[in-house]
Amino acid sequence: MTSLHALLAQMTLDEKIGQLVQLSGEFFLDEPQLTVGPKAKLGIAQAVVDNVGSVLNVSGAVKTREIQRKHLQNSRLKIPLLFMADVIYGYRTIFPIPLALGCSWSPALIRQCCVVAAREAASAGSHVTFAPMADLVRDARWGRCMESTGEDVFLNTQYVRASVEGFQQDMPTQQGLAACVKHFAGYGAPIGGRDYNTVELSHQSLFEDYFPPFQAAIDAGCEMVMTSFNTVDGVPATANPWLLKTLLRERWGFQGITIADYAAVKELIAHGVAADEQDACAIAFNAGLDIDMKTACYANGLKPLLAAGKISERALDDAVLRVLRLKQKLGLFDDPYRGVTPEGEQRCCYHPEHLRLARETAGKSLVVLKNDRQTLPFNPATTRVALIGPYADNPDIFGLWAVYGEKSRCTTLKTALQEAIPDGNLCVTPGCDLLLDYGFLGEFGATHQVEQTRCLTDNERAQELERALDYARQADVVLLAMGEHMMQSGEAASRTDLHLPRHQVEFIQQIAAVAKKTVLLLFNGRPLVLTDVVDHVDAIVEAWFPGIEGSHALVDVLSGKRNPSGRLSMSFPYANGQVPVYYNALNTGRPAHQSDHSPRFLSKYLDCPNAPLFPFGFGLSWHETRLSDLHVTPRLLPGGTVMVSVAAHNTSDVDGLETLQLYLHDCVASIARPALQLKGFTQVMLAAGETQVVHFEITPHDLGFYDAEGDVRLEYGRFRAFVGLNSASLLEGEFYYAES
Ligand code: BGC
């Protein structure tokens, strides 16, 4: 056990500053062109590299060991490096994207996925993951919806807590990771859905919707917090003392490390709040930011600032101590390699238990949006199936943030179906292109040309269409595997048009017109506008980007081996112009359905309903549940409990997992309250034909809400309580919260 204060006392100023600098892996490789290039570009000296405290996005037992070994040779005080990486929804065993995970309504499952992701990444030498992302999302134009668990603060808070617990569970035994919750704060609400754009949120909304998952992460012991790229009240989060000091440290008691998002310190110049790199360094550091990721601002700026008395040595020491403390917690002073070996990595990654969990999780995350004419499930032994579409035989179903996933290990839908359907009963063809224009990939070097050359020629296109129509006519069921290119969602992947591309829509319509039954299988990273296809197909399964076992999970569901239970954690808009659309909006003074104004002057669109196409909480299963007999205790006293009960009746002959959702509305309050707010949910296994009475408890704690100062207000009065299977179809009761 190293005494950190004693260590600190021995450190030179350069050594201290190094702990607050994070560089990426290329700085540590031997190839001269790599080391010279980035250093010159960033403008830092080799001495900084030698003293650096942490490394970004390098992984693999061999590589991390080698970098650590060389670093320790140069490090005068033998202070080990921290390896930090984006292990967002799996390291090698890739789970469904977070937005899909959100649809499982199972924090326990997400926790398990994080335990596994952390074990695999730790076995490969990582120490910290830049996860979970706790940003609430309401705008499907924003590409990073895929990294969030959805639009609801209650769900997100539970997921974030579970994720932090999962990632950090095995930290003490060297098999887990430290978690870094991100992006603090408000990053999920850029104006117009354009990534990195300005955020304008009221403090009331920040406290009510955006902050709670972060606070939950901290309460769960999260070791690090990453700042966001955007401004809050006009001040970039990376240099915002209100966020980093007043809230994080003083109010929430956070003792861990704060880190800037990628190059965000230098970006303070572009924001127009810093004159140059040194200025950026000063305002970020003085605002409470510990580590500068991927710029030279701290590396070159802290020393002269200290000499000029513009930052305090005490603050510098505190920040360095926080970094050293994490290194100690991770056991790096005892074993800088944390027991990592190539053999251990091989044993851990892709462990059959991990793959089993990935299959289970993907099965619980996909959402059935439509199932008419009993199209699904079908019997794979007797059904002639045509699998058509650009995702029919495509392993690219990981989504953008599966940084360490290996697509070669991913089973495609075709292969998974072949395992289930007898020879001769399955026809497969791509049918059409995924996209016709890959220009949006232009910034990724030659990628867009490569993709473009994969597009069908006019001749091939005509032939493919003929083949697809032919297969469709002969099949009992057509599965159309369509969607977004994986690079169309994720970071810097904002879009204004959320429809499937026109040629996909036309293709779906053409196939559906000749097919006996058509099932649309969707692979995408955000809610799409499906208004132009929904009436053409019999069934829709939202598979998201489902990860390494996604194809097997999908076949489990299609074939009836698994009864799906996923429920949307983000609304699917009816039209582009409706976005952002989310279930927990305020009523307004002129609500569309309960106002005595003439209809023209209500809060509504002239050309589109207010409601989304598929609401929050919605999803179908192979069983059906009917709710009845809602009972709500009429009176709640301080310290007391309201009991809500409802009868859930499985009216089908299939057993199924049902998600019952409890919503509240505060009828009169000092701040306008959302028409609905999720306050509880429970998943019950209902046997075929079974009825269960399900109970919820409401306490005064559930009735409080935040004001703009972040204080909780708890007010007496009338409340509505709702229980339903989704946010748009609810049984309703009411109760009074009274003083006596
Ligand atoms: C992203 C972060 C990520 C970081 C490091 C940034 O561009 O916004 O979410 O953790 O890069 O890779």
Predicted confidence (pLDDT) per residue in 126-140, tens digit: 999 999 999 999 999
67-76: average pLDDT:
94
What average pLDDT is seen over the chain?
A: 96
pLDDT at 34 over 50: no
**Ligand 1 touching residue 262 (CB < 6 A):** yes
pTM: 0.97
The helix or strand, by DSSP H or E, that contains position 151, with its residue range, turns out to be: none
Nearest alpha carbon, ligand 1 atom 4: 262
Written as six digits, the tokens of 140 are 């499907």
Closest CA to 85 of 44, 54, 116, 52: 54
pLDDT of residue 41: 78
Answer left, alpha or beta for residue 21, where phi above 0 means left and psi between -120 and 50 means alpha. Answer: beta
Q: Which band of pLDDT confidence, cut at 50, 70 and 90, is reported for residue 36?
A: low
Predicted confidence (pLDDT) per residue in 237-289, tens digit: 999 999 999 999 999 999 999 999 999 999 999 999 999 999 999 999 999 99
Q: Is residue 704 a contact partner of residue 645, using CB atoms and an 8 Å limit?
A: no
pLDDT at 64 over 60: yes
- Verify cis geometry, omega within 30 degrees of 0, for the bond prior to 580: yes
Q: Which band of pLDDT confidence, cut at 50, 70 and 90, is reported for residue 39?
A: confident
pLDDT at 37 over 70: no
Please state, in angstroms and rounded to a whole number, the distance separating the CA atoms of residues 364 and 562. 9
Q: Which of 130, 184, 295 to mutate to test the pocket of ligand 1 (most atoms within 8 A of CB)?
A: 130
Cα–ligand 1 centroid distance for 50 (angstroms): 24
Written as six digits, the tokens of 719 are 């409340």
**Ligand 1 touching residue 401 (CB < 6 A):** no
399-427: average pLDDT:
97
707-714: average pLDDT:
98
Cα–ligand 1 centroid distance for 683 (angstroms): 34
Written as six digits, the tokens of 304 are 């002269």
Question: Residue 283: exposed, middle, or buried by beta-carbon count in 10 A (0-12, 13-18, 19+)?
Answer: buried
Pairing mode of beta strands 539-542, 477-483: unpaired
pLDDT of residue 25: 83
Cα–ligand 1 centroid distance for 261 (angstroms): 6
State the sign of the Cα–Cα–Cα–Cα dihedral 49, 53, 59, 62.
positive
pLDDT at 314 over 70: yes
Q: Which of 86, 261, 279, 666 is catalytic?
A: 261
Answer left, alpha or beta for residue 347, where phi above 0 means left and psi between -120 and 50 means alpha. Answer: alpha
Cα–ligand 1 centroid distance for 262 (angstroms): 6
CATH annotation of 1-84+174-333: 3.20.20.300
**Ligand 1 touching residue 86 (CB < 6 A):** yes
The reply to whether domains 1-84+174-333 and 622-735 share a CATH topology is no
**Ligand 1 touching residue 57 (CB < 6 A):** yes
Nearest alpha carbon, ligand 1 atom 12: 86
Predicted confidence (pLDDT) per residue in 341-354, tens digit: 999 999 999 999 99
Answer left, alpha or beta for residue 57, where phi above 0 means left and psi between -120 and 50 means alpha. Answer: left
The domain made up of 351-557 has a fold known as Rossmann fold (3.40.50)
Cα–ligand 1 centroid distance for 559 (angstroms): 39
Please state, in angstroms and rounded to a whole number, the distance separating the CA atoms of residues 428 and 388. 6
**Ligand 1 touching residue 130 (CB < 6 A):** yes
**Ligand 1 touching residue 144 (CB < 6 A):** no
Predicted confidence (pLDDT) per residue in 558-611, tens digit: 999 999 999 999 999 999 999 999 999 999 999 998 888 988 999 999 999 999
Q: Which of 82, 133, 167, 262 to mutate to test the pocket of ligand 1 (most atoms within 8 A of CB)?
A: 262
Nearest alpha carbon, ligand 1 atom 5: 262
pLDDT of residue 266: 98
pLDDT at 30 over 70: no
**Ligand 1 touching residue 491 (CB < 6 A):** yes
Nearest alpha carbon, ligand 1 atom 2: 261
Nearest alpha carbon, ligand 1 atom 11: 262
Q: Which band of pLDDT confidence, cut at 50, 70 and 90, is reported for residue 450?
A: confident
HEC string of 316-353? HHHHHHHHHHHHHHCCCCCCCCCCCCHHHHHHHCCCHH
Helix (H, G, I), strand (E, B) or coil at 23: strand
Predicted confidence (pLDDT) per residue in 148-159, tens digit: 999 999 999 999
Written as six digits, the tokens of 1 are 């056990």
pLDDT at 359 over 90: yes
Please state, in angstroms and rounded to a whole number, the distance separating the CA atoms of residues 48 and 298. 10
Cα–ligand 1 centroid distance for 133 (angstroms): 10
Helix (H, G, I), strand (E, B) or coil at 474: helix
Please state, in angstroms and rounded to a whole number, the distance separating the CA atoms of residues 520 and 480. 5
pLDDT of residue 453: 84
How much of the chain, in percent, has pLDDT values that exceed 90? 92
Nearest alpha carbon, ligand 1 atom 6: 262
The single-letter code of the amino acid at 209 is D
Per the annotation, the verdict on 261 as an active-site residue is yes
The domain made up of 622-735 has a fold known as Immunoglobulin-like (2.60.40)
Cα–ligand 1 centroid distance for 101 (angstroms): 20
Terminal Cα distance for the chain, rounded: 57
Place of tokens 């009274």: 738
Written as six digits, the tokens of 644 are 């809500």
pLDDT at 32 over 70: no
pLDDT of residue 33: 46
Question: Which ligand 1 atom lies nearest to the CA of residue 293?
Answer: 5
Cα–ligand 1 centroid distance for 264 (angstroms): 10
Please state, in angstroms and rounded to a whole number, the distance separating the CA atoms of residues 362 and 646. 29
Q: Which of 261, 404, 443 to mutate to test the pocket of ligand 1 (most atoms within 8 A of CB)?
A: 261
**Ligand 1 touching residue 182 (CB < 6 A):** yes
Break the chain into its structural domains and give their ranges.
1-84+174-333, 351-557, 622-735
